[in-house]
Structure 1
Amino acid sequence: MNRRQFLASASAIAVLPAPSLAAPDTLRLRAEAVTQQILPDGDGATSMLGFNGSMPGPTLRMRRGERVKIDVENGLDEGTTVHWHGIRLENQMDGVPVLTQDLINPGDTMTYSFVPPDAGTFWYHSHYISHEQAARGMIGPLIVEDDTPPDVDHDITVLLSDWHMQEDGSLVESYSNMHNLAHGGYMGNFARAFLSQAHVRSGDRVRLRLINAATNRIFPVTISGVTGHIVALDGMALAAPRPLSEIVLAPAQRVDLIVDVMGTVGFDMTTRQGPYQLAALTTDGANTDRQSSPISPLAGHDLPRPGEPTQHLTLTMMGGAMGGRHGGDNIWAFNNVSDLAEDPFGSFQRGETVRITMVNDTSFPHGIHLHGHHFFEVGEDGALGDVRDTTLVEAGASRDIICVFDNPGRWLLHCHMLSHAFGGMRTWVTVA
């Protein structure tokens, strides 16, 4: 990544659009071409895609257990769909062409309607040629409110992404470049974080919601100017807050923190050339009223507890540059099959507990995302670990997950390095 002039500074904070709160009326998103200032002020603006005139799109805030309706109007000159990432919703609302819906054609509108069952940090993005449409800007935060919010002074969303750009701000639109597809994917030479507000006070207690909305980049992030704990991963509360250290976010993963502000809050990506500043949250004054107190856990999730697995499946990631041959007809494959096969990778009865061993037999890391469900990562000691909807499996490594498949329908299972998904690394499961 070129740091030469692409260093986001505190004087060029990128702020998310104002939130849209779900109400009895239907929310509305219009997918359309937009112009956005991604590079620091004074450099060129970028022609891209977005929602409601901005990139990222507006933050959608909704209430757990209450039905929300979202009209998505397609103002593009090509089809699109929207996926509500991490929401355990009805299958027909999941936003996946072929599996769950038809395309929203140019000029048409589709109403998505679902009841979010979990409070937490989620996001939305295009799921049609998403390696291109999401890379061009069709992304936005989605927050499901806690029934009882934690005791914090501010609740701040931090959306991370990267873009491959010319120095004039124009996008390098090599989304389907074969070299990119076979390696780490379409990567940006400029990255930054968009914050939902620009200032806090020293002494404030703040909830930070980090979302990796990049199409392919893994973000190792350090946060300075705070002390605190990790309280949730991928929208699911941890049973006990975890001390804050460097955070590694694969594409689509999220992490929630509760921190106490000591000074300017820096968000830095770790690189071989040193820290690369993504954003800075500046301090304006001091909070002298807040008293020091322990950080309490968020309200726990109500996912079904796994029983004894009735099936144990293996999902082997294959292909790519420096990878071995496989039987698929694309760059990447799962179990020798590229892209969506006629038959599912797994067929499950509703409520069935399944163990899946994910084997990365490639030279690149992969973030594997399961739609419609969360799952437990299995620790090295065999115990149930973190609850996630996207798990990062390093090159040459393997990881077991255990999932209770309790949501009926046909669900996508794919690499969320979206270049790899486009290159063949996607399959599906069915739950009867």
Structure 2
Amino acid sequence: MLTRRQFVAAAAGATVARAFEGANEPPAYAQRLGLAVSMDGDKTIAVPLIAAERPTSLPCFAGRSLPLWTFADGAWPSVIRLDLGDRLEATLDNRLPDDQSTSIHWHGIRLPNDQDGVPYLVQPPVQPGESFRYVFTPPDAGTYFFHTHCNTVEQLGRGLEGILIIDGDTTEPYDADMILLLRDWMIDLDAGEFMPFYTLRGAGRAGTYGRVRSVNGAINPEIPLPSAGDCRLRLINSDPTRIMQIAIDGADAAVIAIDGIAVQPFALSVAYMGPATRIDLAVRAPGEGRMARLIDRASDTPVELAHFVASGSARRTSAFDPAPLRASCIPNPDLNNAVRLRFVFNAGEAAQLLAAALDDATGTTLGSLCLSQRIFWTINGRAWPERDHSRLPPPLAVLKRGHSYVFELENKSSFMHPIHIHGHTFSFIRSNKQRRPAHHTDTLLLLPQENAEVAFVADNPGVWMLHCHVIEHQESGMMGYFGVV
């Protein structure tokens, strides 16, 4: 007999499935989302996270060792894996250089406000020599990651990040389950050193792109897959800047989760992946000895990010119809009674001056512009007043706990902005620019001049960030917060 919780989750999954059928071409696959499960884990997982500078030679560094900042000796990135219902106790120990305070934000997790990791807003920054213990039970299975929220542009740029996997969302086992961490590195390989992580041009425009692209720390790695197996590929774009258009060449592929939350499987054509986005794919591996490729089609010349080589006897012979994941327990907003709030993301006056100077053929120089405050971006005409969060502005909005809200997100700038919400998960409703399936997301990529609507139940009390996840945009004004009371 179904519990009430399982019945509600099943009904919600069916509603999402119907929405996907109407929004995708080709249509969604036949199998439906599985029933949500209760949080069955009963363990406490204690994890030390010692943030320190550790010279590291990743395969993509061409034999050079660079001063990465990592959470563990001999491991990049750190990976934490829990069962749904397990309690995480992660102790952050700051052993970074003396001028580096830090914290950890658990990206995409609906967790208690005091565990969210935003310095000054919900916790004091963790100074060198200090520690802080994060304790929470993640309510949703799926693919997540964590990173610092202090001086993020440099700390993330130097590698201070990790992966958080919450198991418990499968309806049947996949033949392989692999994590693919996608990111650039701001390094000069000839000199063997990091380049500037923050530039005025990048902050005022599309962000500063790295020179070395990697998957799991390697350039175009070869990844073995079982022949004709249905494989789960957990793609995580942890890059501070780069927006990708992901495709799989040489194999059938379906999207099965977005930002950690299950969707009715639908065929992958090309998928945008902004910074901080996760997409889980089910891929039918090619036959033995054959190859498939992970491609970024965002530029005129597609870039091969990784290639998959199949081996062994064929695991499956049936037509590709990937096993779906289990529905989430995220509450459904009441759209008929939702309060609507408008958030406009735009360039500030300094960014407009910077863009004009960079495009000006008359020889205007950056030195002639007053850009010292580095405030380039705004939300509703307001910018966060300090890059390090230390001066808190008034909230963008105050929401009533348990009420439903529709956020109207308007990008009035000429650049893309991945908008990330803390402590909650959006339900996507509509857009004037993109044909998207209905789905849950914590980081919605807004195209230039795009107007999108998302909805959620404000069921998590506290003060929560809303910001662009192009980190240079975040740190030059495009961040704010809202309260839930």
Structure 2 length-normalised TM: 0.78
- The aligned counterpart of 2:341 is 313
Which stretch shows the higher mean deviation, 224-233 or 190-199?
190-199
How far 1:201 sits from its partner (Å)?
Answer: 2.1
Equivalent pairs counted in the alignment come to: 409
- The aligned counterpart of 1:229 is 254
Instruction: Say whether the 8 Å CA contact 2:186–2:197 is kept in structure 1.
Output: no
Instruction: Say whether the 8 Å CA contact 1:44–1:168 is kept in structure 2.
Output: no
Cα distance in structure 1, aligned partners of 2:82 and 2:105: 16
How far 1:41 sits from its partner (Å)?
Answer: 7.0
CA 416–153 in structure 1, closer or farther in 2 if over 3 Å, else same: same
1:134 match: secondary structure: helix
- The aligned counterpart of 1:353 is 404
Instruction: Say whether the 8 Å CA contact 1:82–1:127 is kept in structure 2.
Output: yes
Superposition RMSD in Å? 2.7
Alignment map for 1:257-406 (pairs within 5 Å): 257-262=281-286, 263-288=290-315, 292=319, 294-307=321-334, 308-319=336-347, 321-322=351-352, 330-339=375-384, 341-380=392-431, 385-406=438-459
1:131 match: secondary structure: helix
Larger helix share, 1 or 2? 2
How far 1:355 sits from its partner (Å)?
Answer: 1.2
- The aligned counterpart of 1:5 is none
- The aligned counterpart of 1:111 is 133
Cα distance in structure 2, aligned partners of 1:43 and 1:100: 41
How far 1:380 sits from its partner (Å)?
Answer: 4.6
Cα distance in structure 2, aligned partners of 1:268 and 1:357: 32
- The aligned counterpart of 2:117 is 95
Aligned AA (1:58): S
Structure 1 length-normalised TM: 0.88
- The CA deviation string for residues 402-427 of structure 1, in whole angstroms up to 9 with x for no partner, is 12111011100000001100000000
Pick aligned residue for 2:56 from 36, 45, 66:
36
How far 1:171 sits from its partner (Å)?
Answer: 4.1
- The aligned counterpart of 1:47 is 67
CA 329–257 in structure 1, closer or farther in 2 if over 3 Å, else same: closer
Instruction: Say whether the 8 Å CA contact 1:218–1:249 is kept in structure 2.
Output: yes
1:47 match: secondary structure: strand
2:438 match: secondary structure: strand
- The aligned counterpart of 1:140 is 162
Instruction: Say whether the 8 Å CA contact 1:22–1:60 is kept in structure 2.
Output: no
1:59 match: secondary structure: strand
- The CA deviation string for residues 208-260 of structure 1, in whole angstroms up to 9 with x for no partner, is 1100000011011222232131111001111x211121121000011111111
CA 273–90 in structure 1, closer or farther in 2 if over 3 Å, else same: same
- The aligned counterpart of 2:20 is none
2:195 match: secondary structure: coil
1:124 maps to 2:152: no
Q: Which runs of 5+ in 1 are unaligned?
A: 1-20
- The CA deviation string for residues 384-412 of structure 1, in whole angstroms up to 9 with x for no partner, is 92210010111122111112111011100
Cα distance in structure 2, aligned partners of 1:338 and 1:423: 8
How far 1:294 sits from its partner (Å)?
Answer: 2.4
How far 1:148 sits from its partner (Å)?
Answer: 4.5
How far 1:45 sits from its partner (Å)?
Answer: 3.1
Which protein has the larger Cα radius of gyration, Structure 1 or Structure 2? 2
Larger strand share, 1 or 2? 1
Instruction: Say whether the 8 Å CA contact 1:79–1:106 is kept in structure 2.
Output: yes
CA 175–410 in structure 1, closer or farther in 2 if over 3 Å, else same: same
CA 56–247 in structure 1, closer or farther in 2 if over 3 Å, else same: farther
CA 310–291 in structure 1, closer or farther in 2 if over 3 Å, else same: closer
Which stretch shows the higher mean deviation, 417-426 or 379-388?
379-388
Aligned AA (2:465): L
Aligned AA (2:236): I
Instruction: Say whether the 8 Å CA contact 1:39–1:45 is kept in structure 2.
Output: no
- The aligned counterpart of 1:170 is 192
Aligned AA (2:382): V
How far 1:374 sits from its partner (Å)?
Answer: 0.3
Cα distance in structure 2, aligned partners of 1:151 and 1:25: 23
CA 286–36 in structure 1, closer or farther in 2 if over 3 Å, else same: farther
1:179 match: secondary structure: helix
- The CA deviation string for residues 54-84 of structure 1, in whole angstroms up to 9 with x for no partner, is 5632211112122111111112022110111
1:305 match: secondary structure: coil
Cα distance in structure 2, aligned partners of 1:197 and 1:405: 43
CA 54–336 in structure 1, closer or farther in 2 if over 3 Å, else same: farther
1:249 maps to 2:273: yes
Which stretch shows the higher mean deviation, 420-429 or 243-252?
243-252
Aligned AA (1:225): G
CA 384–243 in structure 1, closer or farther in 2 if over 3 Å, else same: closer
CA 178–303 in structure 1, closer or farther in 2 if over 3 Å, else same: same
CA 302–177 in structure 1, closer or farther in 2 if over 3 Å, else same: same
1:133 match: secondary structure: helix
Cα distance in structure 2, aligned partners of 1:394 and 1:123: 24
Instruction: Say whether the 8 Å CA contact 1:31–1:72 is kept in structure 2.
Output: yes
Instruction: Say whether the 8 Å CA contact 1:367–1:415 is kept in structure 2.
Output: yes
How far 1:372 sits from its partner (Å)?
Answer: 0.4
Cα distance in structure 2, aligned partners of 1:90 and 1:28: 20
